[in-house]
Amino acid sequence: MLSKMESEETQKKIAQLQSLEQNLQNFLMQKQTFQSQLIEIENALDEIEKSSGNVYKIVGSVMISSKKDDIKKDLNDKKEIVSLRISNLEKQEEKIKDKASKLQKEVLSEVGADRGEDA
């Protein structure tokens, strides 16, 4: 049987594991948001390429005429930033997954050892 101290330690690890899972869910939601933004930016860039007429952009609640090259530059800058954010989130996501996996193995090992002694 696990000692009281070991049991408390296991409970702390379980709580930490739940916290990591919550963080992972938050990262996944953020990543989905950024991926949606990236798709919108890419679609806008495609439409600008197809356009032969005037090009407009929305600033606040106003739509203004703008140079095609300026808008393309702005969109490409935004695309780069969003891509970097996605990349950073993926790196953080991997770290959390690794940490959660190790913690889960520890908890299962401790719980399994406890059950093994009861048999």
Of residues 4 and 62, more confidence is placed in 62
- Cβ–Cβ under 8 Å, residues 97 and 24: yes
State what percent of residues in the chain have pLDDT above 90.
76
Q: Residue 51 in 3-state DSSP? A: coil
Q: Is the pLDDT of residue 18 over 70?
A: yes
Q: Which residue has the tokens 């938050």?
A: 26
Place of tokens 């996944």: 28
The rounded mean pLDDT for the chain is 90
Question: What is the rounded end-to-end Cα distance, in angstroms, of the chain?
Answer: 10
Instruction: For residue 60, give the DSSP letter.
Output: T
Q: Which CATH code, of 1.10.3860.10, 3.30.565.10, 1.10.287.370, 3.40.640.10, is assigned to 4-118? A: 1.10.287.370
Helix axes 68-118, 4-50, angle to 10 degrees: 160
What are the sequence ranges of the domains in the chain? 4-118
Rounded Cα distance between 102 and 111, Å, is: 14
Helix (H) or strand (E) holding 69: helix 68-118
Confidence of residue 12 (pLDDT cuts 50, 70, 90): very high
Residue 45 has pLDDT above 50, yes or no: yes
**Whole-number percent of the chain with pLDDT over 70:** 89
